Amino acid sequence: MATTTEPDRKFVIVANRLPVRWVDDDRNGDSGHWETSPGGLVSAVRPSVADYGQAGWIGWTGSDVDEEPFVDDGLLLHPVSMTVDEKELFYDGMSNGTLWPLYHDKAVPAEFHRHWWDGYRRINRRYADAAAKVAAEGATVWVHDYQLQLVPGMLRELRPDLRIGFFLHIPFPPPELFVGLPWRDEIALGMLGSDLIGFQTPDAADNFHRLVVRRGLADDSGPGVLAHAGRRVRTRAYPIGIDVARYDQAARTDKVSDHARDLRARLGAPHTVMLGVDRLDYTKGIDVRLRALKELLDDGDINPRQVTMVQVAQPSRDDVEAYITLREEVDRMVGEINGDHGRVGFPVVHYIHQNVDFPELLAMYRAADIMLVTPFRDGMNLVAKEYVAARYDLTGCLVLSEFAGAATELSDALLVNPYDIDGLKAAIARAVAMEPTEARARLEPMRAAVLANDAVDWARGFLADLADR
Ligand code: F6P
């Protein structure tokens, strides 16, 4: 690894996190290790840099230790540091206590605090300054997600020579909900600093378009085109994809088949394995799926000797109050289900509150007859696509919330409204009883959709439009 301070990068990614994060191994922070950052953003965006010789990535390491920029495999990693207090205001506070719930239909109440907003502005300025320092003359800068919505506007002021794209990985709420945000115009104006703004779904793009026109921040210049400050700003949906080949190819290996077989055996060789894989987040609907399962078991509609559930809940944002409360609730519900319906050595719900590595995850996708993806609202949900990619033999059933962005492309899943517990119970019961011919007929078009738009297609599609003035 080498260091550089030259503004020589022709392509710069700006995202809250670097593609790798620093994890402390002990509480004193004396030792630690680098690992891939959590979430779908990194896995989708990382391959896009391969098309560019001189690329850079600006992001947070996840720790409060100052790190120098370093070059890893040709990619300049430029860490942005935050103190513990700054992280509390910017990340725990404004990003995940205000914007995250507001953009996800207020699954928990969004909090508005002026000191959080001040912290958000300060840290966005830090990312914009870093991008201005690293980007070469006329470079393309691609800014990501709700944590950094002010960066495009700030960067344009600093460096009008740059081509700036912004992609929002989470939903953008309807204007009626967004206008309650005290800093609504500042956020929207920040995004309007871009040349191209990408969203996961046409609805999200439309919500933003209507908002800025209604607020008088931009003029409508036709579908997906806005006029702002003498510039053209385009808005469009670019549904994000996954690295399909990685899942598809690995799933076909003997190693993964053996691993999946072993997993089923360790689960007690049940007739049906159900699976949930999520960050432990209240938007994901982990609680509703447990409630539905409990009622089905209580009513005798599901036999606990035949059906087992594995729920992976990756630890996430564990300094934020709503996440602490959710963890307690999920712990309690799992305990209740297993207490009422499990037997010694055979719990009904196998709950893993840990990160799982790729081979284990893939074995789970292969072992699962039913995949439960039930968010109240989700930008896309890549787990749904990963499951489909791993089911190369067209077996298995995806139960999917109609409020996940993925439902647009995966409309052949068993679609559910996660607020409707009876509907969810009916879908689970239907999935348990589904004939292989129906499962096959549903998976075939879904696989075609996932294969047709992988992560590289997605990034190239966005960047080609960004390059085209
Ligand atoms: O898109 C949602 C998102 O916040 C991404 O920015 C991130 O990759 C993922 O969720 C994980 O969240 P966090 O960075 O807060 O751990």
pLDDT, tens digit, for every residue of 86-105? 999 999 999 999 999 999 98
- Residue 32 shares a structural domain with residue 97: yes
Ligand 1 within 6 A of CB of 145: yes
Q: Does the pLDDT at position 316 exceed 60?
A: yes
- Return the residue matching tokens 């992609």: 167
Q: Does the pLDDT at position 2 exceed 60?
A: no
Ligand 1 atom with minimal separation from the 279 CA: 11
What per-residue confidence (pLDDT) applies to 52? Answer: 79
User: Is residue 378 annotated as part of the catalytic site, yes or no?
Assistant: yes
Q: Residue 157 belongs to a domain with what CATH number?
A: 3.40.50.2000
DSSP string, 43-104: HHHGGGGGG-SSEEEEEE-SSSS----EEETTEEEEEE---HHHHIIIIIIIIIIIIHHHHT
- Residue 19 shares a structural domain with residue 132: yes
CA atoms of 328 and 331, how far apart (whole Å): 5
CA atoms of 213 and 111, how far apart (whole Å): 26
Ligand 1 within 6 A of CB of 17: yes
Contact 398, 388 (CB under 8 A): yes
Ligand 1 within 6 A of CB of 16: yes
Q: Does the pLDDT at position 291 exceed 90?
A: yes
Ligand 1 within 6 A of CB of 202: no
Ligand 1 atom with minimal separation from the 316 CA: 16
Q: Which position among 248, 378, 412, 454 bears the catalytic label?
A: 378
Measured in Å, residue 62 CA sits from the centre of ligand 1 at 12
Ligand 1 atom with minimal separation from the 145 CA: 6
pLDDT, tens digit, for every residue of 231-253? 999 999 999 999 999 999 999 99
- Residue 235 shares a structural domain with residue 302: no
Residue minimizing CA distance to atom 15 of ligand 1: 317
Measured in Å, residue 47 CA sits from the centre of ligand 1 at 17
- Residue 248 shares a structural domain with residue 162: no
Q: Does the pLDDT at position 3 exceed 60?
A: no
Ligand 1 within 6 A of CB of 39: yes
Sequence-distant (≥ 6) Cβ neighbours of residue 40 within 8 angstroms? 169, 240, 242, 380, 382
Ligand 1 within 6 A of CB of 377: no
Q: Does the pLDDT at position 152 exceed 70?
A: yes
Distance of CA 469 to the CA centre of its chain: 29
- 282 secondary structure, DSSP code: G
Q: Per-residue confidence at 53, pLDDT binned at 50, 70, 90? A: confident
What per-residue confidence (pLDDT) applies to 27? Answer: 64
- Coil, strand or helix at 415: strand
Measured in Å, residue 380 CA sits from the centre of ligand 1 at 12
Ligand 1 atom with minimal separation from the 96 CA: 15
Residue minimizing CA distance to atom 1 of ligand 1: 169
The total domain count for the chain is 2
Q: Does the pLDDT at position 408 exceed 90?
A: yes
Measured in Å, residue 39 CA sits from the centre of ligand 1 at 5
Measured in Å, residue 14 CA sits from the centre of ligand 1 at 13
* Identity of residue 177: L
- Residue 218 shares a structural domain with residue 317: no
Contact 273, 367 (CB under 8 A): yes
- Coil, strand or helix at 273: strand
Ligand 1 within 6 A of CB of 41: yes
Q: Per-residue confidence at 44, pLDDT binned at 50, 70, 90? A: confident
- Residue 210 shares a structural domain with residue 254: no
Q: Are strands 55-60 and 75-80 parallel, antiparallel or unpaired?
A: parallel
Q: Does the pLDDT at position 415 exceed 60?
A: yes
- For ligand 1, pick from 145, 377, 378 the residue to mutate: most ligand atoms within 8 Å of CB: 145
Long-range CB pairs of 25-32 (<8 Å, 24+ gap) are: 29/63, 29/65, 32/63
* Identity of residue 1: M
Measured in Å, residue 85 CA sits from the centre of ligand 1 at 20
Residue minimizing CA distance to atom 12 of ligand 1: 39
- Residue 248 shares a structural domain with residue 208: no
Helices and strands in the chain, H and E counts: 18, 18
- Residue 208 shares a structural domain with residue 275: no
Q: Per-residue confidence at 28, pLDDT binned at 50, 70, 90? A: low
- For ligand 1, pick from 37, 41, 100 the residue to mutate: most ligand atoms within 8 Å of CB: 41
Measured in Å, residue 279 CA sits from the centre of ligand 1 at 9
- For ligand 1, pick from 17, 60, 102 the residue to mutate: most ligand atoms within 8 Å of CB: 17
- Residue 87 shares a structural domain with residue 229: yes
- Residue 284 shares a structural domain with residue 232: no
Which of the pair, 291 or 44, is modelled with greater confidence? 291
Ligand 1 within 6 A of CB of 283: no
Average pLDDT, the chain: 95
Measured in Å, residue 26 CA sits from the centre of ligand 1 at 24
Q: Are strands 219-220 and 225-228 parallel, antiparallel or unpaired?
A: antiparallel
Q: Which position among 78, 104, 169, 341 bears the catalytic label?
A: 169
What per-residue confidence (pLDDT) applies to 65? Answer: 84
- Residue 279 shares a structural domain with residue 219: no
- Return the residue matching tokens 């609730």: 329
Q: What's the average model confidence in pLDDT over 350-359?
A: 96
Calculate what percentage of the chain has a pLDDT beyond 70.
98
Long-range CB pairs of 174-177 (<8 Å, 24+ gap) are: 174/207, 175/207, 175/210, 175/211, 175/214, 175/215, 177/102, 177/105, 177/106
- Residue 299 shares a structural domain with residue 403: yes
Q: What angle do CA 261, 406, 55 make, to 5 degrees?
A: 90
Parent domain of 386: 244-452
**HSE-up of residue 120 (Cα within 13 Å, Cβ side):** 24
